[in-house]
């Protein structure tokens, strides 16, 4: 029997056991990887029973596999949702939601600090099919509500946002949706279900790039959308048509990563807080974006609804151009230069170079991307070693 009532257990117990059968195939302690593209039936009656009884079993790999089903149940339990739909990446997940929920003439409203590829998909690609995208200032709830009309079908935000780490008041965000009859989606990749569970605040859908903290080891791509079973039915159905699924081996890696999710997040949170505090006190650093700091614009909101503040920190160097900023990045010995976040290894990058280099300066400025900005994704290395390394890089 699978662990069903996950809410009765702690986070670590849920991460280890939720969604899994107590006794597994071949008496294995881990779920065997099912490398099958298709699933067979004993006879014609078995096929008819499968269709008429809506049996929970495999038919064809594009519609799911046993490893995926275990991971989906585990992810739903961690976020406090009824169901979860797993995708090949975080972008595939949000594309799946948008494609399933919006038709020609519909509108979607974003807070403008959402992941730029998510906004780009809607504004540049869904517009070709008659979907209108509106963007309003992050955490400006009056502006979001004012942007809603009879055609609005979805409200979208990250929380915290990337790279500025603005924190959305989830109760206010969800209340706007309930009041206007519009569904709400929060990309909680940076928070993870360890630090916040948006569904408990009334949000309809929670999105994660499982590539990040959920997988936790920089060795897989995956995305997930979590919500009510009925709400996700059309999303799951469309995924089966589009084919944006994950392999059985990737599902195995994600399931294995989730086993240590709780203990990893404890270290990410602790390292993040310690390093943000160090950076705020350093004379070369002019600003630190981290919701755990009292100086952060959204600290009070974060303190009210978050258990911890994660391992992503953005900071600015005082009186430094982009080259001097690059020198600090290059002098770091422990974090590697690269995109992404949430893995056991620390990563560091300049948003200007890594994600916004090809954009005109005025467009970067509109996104709040400064030449002297550094984003660091803190891993689980020893806190002292990371601080010492950052200090030597800053001292030059």
**In this structure, are 283 and 254 located in the same domain?**
no
**In this structure, are 235 and 94 located in the same domain?**
yes
Beta carbons within 8 Å of 23's beta carbon, 6+ residues apart: none
**In this structure, are 83 and 221 located in the same domain?**
yes
Task: Kindly state the tokens that stand for 315.
Answer: 């900071």
Catalytic residue among 115, 252, 290, 309: 115
**In this structure, are 271 and 181 located in the same domain?**
no
Q: Cα separation of 115 and 102, whole Å?
A: 19
Is 292 part of any domain? yes
- Give me the CATH number covering residue 54: 3.40.640.10
Phi, psi (5° rounding) for residue 244? Answer: -85, 60
Task: Kindly state the tokens that stand for 213.
Answer: 């903290």
Look at residue 6 in the predicted model and tell me its pLDDT: 46
Flag whether pLDDT at 358 surpasses 90: no
Average pLDDT over residues 20-37: 95
Confidence band of 366 (pLDDT split at 50, 70, 90): confident
Catalytic residue among 73, 101, 134, 212: 212
SS3 304: helix
Look at residue 257 in the predicted model and tell me its pLDDT: 98
Place of tokens 């959402």: 114
**In this structure, are 178 and 282 located in the same domain?**
no
Flag whether pLDDT at 12 surpasses 90: yes
**In this structure, are 110 and 209 located in the same domain?**
yes
**In this structure, are 280 and 183 located in the same domain?**
no
Confidence band of 361 (pLDDT split at 50, 70, 90): confident
Flag whether pLDDT at 389 surpasses 90: yes
**In this structure, are 247 and 265 located in the same domain?**
no
Query: Which residue in 306, 307, 261 sits closest to 12, CA to CA?
Result: 261
Beta carbons within 8 Å of 226's beta carbon, 6+ residues apart: 75, 76, 79, 81, 83, 84, 199, 205, 206, 207, 208
pLDDT in tens, 179-219: 999 999 999 999 999 999 999 999 999 999 999 999 999 99
Other CB atoms within 10 A of residue 189 CB:
27
Is 108 part of any domain? yes
187 flagged as catalytic: yes
Is 1 part of any domain? no
Other CB atoms within 10 A of residue 217 CB:
15
Catalytic residue among 83, 187, 204, 389: 187
333 flagged as catalytic: no
The beta strand positions in the chain, using DSSP E, are 83-87, 107-111, 132-136, 152-158, 183-187, 205-209, 223-227, 285-289, 312-317, 336-337, 347-349, 373-377
pTM attached to this predicted model: 0.95
Boundary (domain end) residue, out of 259, 287, 305: 259
60 flagged as catalytic: no
Phi, psi (5° rounding) for residue 104? Answer: -55, 130
Domain count across the chain = 2
Contact 98, 124 (CB under 8 A): no
Contact 183, 153 (CB under 8 A): yes
Flag whether pLDDT at 63 surpasses 50: yes
pLDDT in tens, 288-314: 999 999 999 999 999 999 999 999 999
Query: Which residue in 393, 315, 390, 387 sits closest to 351, CA to CA?
Result: 315
Boundary (domain end) residue, out of 259, 280, 305: 259
Average pLDDT over residues 10-14: 94
Confidence band of 364 (pLDDT split at 50, 70, 90): confident
Boundary (domain end) residue, out of 198, 231, 259: 259
**In this structure, are 217 and 310 located in the same domain?**
no
- Give me the CATH number covering residue 303: 3.90.1150.10
Is 210 part of any domain? yes
pLDDT in tens, 139-161: 999 999 999 999 999 999 999 99
Residue % of the chain over a pLDDT of 90: 91
Structural domain containing residue 28? 6-259
Q: What does each C-alpha distance from 373 to 159, 214, 316 come to in angstroms?
A: 20, 26, 4
Is 68 part of any domain? yes
Least confident of 52-61, 361-370, 386-395: 361-370
Catalytic residue among 39, 49, 50, 62: 62
Flag whether pLDDT at 25 surpasses 60: yes
Look at residue 1 in the predicted model and tell me its pLDDT: 40
pLDDT in tens, 104-151: 999 999 999 988 899 999 999 999 999 999 999 999 999 999 999 999
Beta carbons within 8 Å of 46's beta carbon, 6+ residues apart: none
**In this structure, are 175 and 292 located in the same domain?**
no
**In this structure, are 223 and 359 located in the same domain?**
no
Give the mean pLDDT of the chain. Answer: 95
């Amino acid at each position: 029997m699978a662990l069903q009532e996950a809410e009765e257990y702690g986070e670590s117990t849920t991460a280890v056991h939720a969604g899994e059968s107590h006794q597994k195939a071949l008496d294995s302690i881990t779920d065997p990887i099912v490398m099958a593209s298709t699933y067979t039936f004993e006879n014609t009656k078995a096929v008819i029973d499968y269709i008429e009884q809506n049996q929970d079993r495999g038919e064809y790999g594009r519609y799911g596999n046993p490893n995926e089903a275990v991971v989906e149940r585990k992810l739903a339990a961690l976020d406090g949702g009824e169901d979860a739909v797993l995708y090949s990446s975080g972008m595939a997940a949000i594309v799946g939601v948008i494609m399933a929920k919006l038709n020609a003439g519909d509108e979607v409203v974003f807070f403008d600090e959402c992941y730029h590829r998510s906004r780009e998909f809607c504004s540049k690609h869904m517009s070709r099919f008659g979907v209108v995208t509106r963007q309003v200032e992050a955490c400006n709830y009056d502006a979001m509500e004012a942007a809603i009309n009879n055609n609005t079908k979805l409200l979208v935000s990250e929380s915290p946002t990337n790279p500025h780490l603005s924190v959305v008041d989830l109760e206010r965000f969800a209340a706007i949706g309930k009041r206007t009859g519009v569904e709400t989606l929060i990309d909680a990749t940076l928070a993870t279900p360890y630090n916040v569970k948006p569904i408990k605040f009334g949000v309809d859908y929670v999105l994660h790039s499982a590539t990040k903290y959920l997988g936790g080891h920089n060795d897989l791509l995956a995305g997930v959308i979590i919500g009510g079973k009925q709400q996700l039915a059309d999303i799951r159905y469309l995924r089966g048509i589009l084919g944006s699924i994950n392999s059985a081996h990737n599902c195995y890696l994600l399931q294995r990563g989730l086993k240590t999710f709780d203990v990893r997040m404890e270290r990410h949170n602790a390292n993040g807080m310690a390093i943000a505090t160090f950076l705020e006190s350093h004379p070369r650093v002019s600003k630190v974006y981290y919701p755990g700091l009292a100086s952060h614009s959204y600290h009070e909101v974060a303190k009210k609804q978050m258990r911890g503040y994660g391992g992503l920190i953005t900071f600015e160097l005082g009186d430094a151009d982009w080259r001097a900023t690059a020198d600090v990045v290059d002098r770091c010995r422990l974090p590697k230069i690269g995109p992404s976040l949430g893995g056991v290894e620390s990563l560091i990058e300049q948003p200007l170079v890594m994600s916004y280099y090809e954009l005109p300066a005025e467009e970067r400025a509109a996104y709040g991307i400064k030449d002297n900005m550094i984003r660091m994704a803190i891993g689980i290395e020893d806190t002292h070693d990371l601080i010492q390394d950052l200090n030597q890089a800053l001292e030059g």
